[in-house]
Amino acid sequence: MTTAPVRDSRPAMTAHRWAGQIQFWVGLVLIAFFCLAPFYWMAVSSLKSPETIFDNRLLPQDPSATNYLAVFGADNDFSLALRNSLIVAGSVTVLSLIVGVIASYALARLKFRLKSVVLGLFLATSMFPGVAILSPMFQLFADWGWINTYQAMIIPDVSFTLPLGVWILTGFFVAMPWELEEAARVDGCTAGEAFRKVLLPLAVPGVFTTAILVFIAAWNEFMIANSMTQTPSAQPVTVAIAKFTGVSQFDQPFGTQMAAGVVVTVPLVIIVLIFQRRIISGLTSGSSR
């Protein structure tokens, strides 16, 4: 009695594995190109003169720093706009972290019915279109005399960034071993001391990740800032860029806007590249359980 020869399936498995690897890298390259191409074109356009900005060259023929000099010229007050953005984004980040850490700890530690529903509703508030409340909010702040002030930008930004921070931080506190808090209480710590000395240091990756995401969101905000600021002394960089003039009085400000976009974007890119591992670990650690 003869048996049929067994075919070796390893070549087929190897070919299938190579096909999967090729598809993965092709998809990765396409995604990277899709994400980086606009920034590359912005950087290239920022080095072109107003006469050559529409030549569609992949590299500037005669690179020039004219646009960058115009960005920091006296007509644009860009340094003042950078200061305003730092103050607003930094304040929003600090306030969102303070409130977000406390709220997340309460949501994770307390036991009550419909906790997941409350957390979902909390996150749903960030999906509410800001333009729907822009007019009444402007009228309210105008009655209070808050137009052209920092608080007119900080408070709305906190309301929109806080739900994201609470959502991320709640995952961290839920995943923490509560036995550590109980052990600290047994050793004589109060509830506040156990939270501050034991739980909060363990939540540093989540706090750090939330801080970066909130800062980027506040730094890039335009709609509220454009409505609440009417003078250059209070405008952040997003509004200042939209109101740029050209290198000369009569040309379009495309080059200076591209140069300002590079100046505003590069620090954020550097921060993300430096702390990318901490950001990734922060986004994944909270969902480990």
Please indicate, yes or no, whether residues 49 and 127 belong to a single structural domain of this protein: no
Does one domain contain both 41 and 166? no
Q: What tokens were used for 218?
A: 């506040």
- Count of other CB atoms within 10 angstroms of residue 224: 26
Q: In this structure, are residues 218 and 157 in contact, taking their beta carbons and an 8 Å threshold?
A: yes
Which two tokens mark 36? 């980086």
* Parent domain of 127: 77-243
Q: Please say whether the beta carbons of 232 and 216 come within 8 A.
A: no
Band of residue 20 on the pLDDT scale cut at 50, 70, 90? confident
Answer yes or no: is 16 within a domain: yes
Same domain flag for 144 and 38: no
Minimum mean pLDDT among 64-68, 90-94, 101-105, 285-289: which range? 285-289
SS3 56: coil
The total of structural domains in the chain comes to 2
Instruction: Assess if residue 55 is contained within a domain.
Output: yes
Q: Are residues 46 and 136 in the same domain?
A: no
- Is 31 a member of any domain? yes
**What does residue 47 show for φ and ψ, rounded to 5 degrees?**
-95, 5
pLDDT of 288 higher than 50? no
Among 74-78, 146-150, 279-283, where is mean pLDDT lowest?
A: 279-283
Q: In terms of domains, do 162 and 125 share one?
A: yes
Q: Taking the CB of residue 75, how many other CB atoms lie within 10 A of it?
A: 13
pLDDT tens digits, one per residue of 103-162: 888 888 888 777 778 877 877 777 777 788 888 899 999 999 999 999 999 999 998 888
Q: Do 57 and 198 fall within a single domain?
A: no
Q: Is residue 29 part of a domain?
A: yes
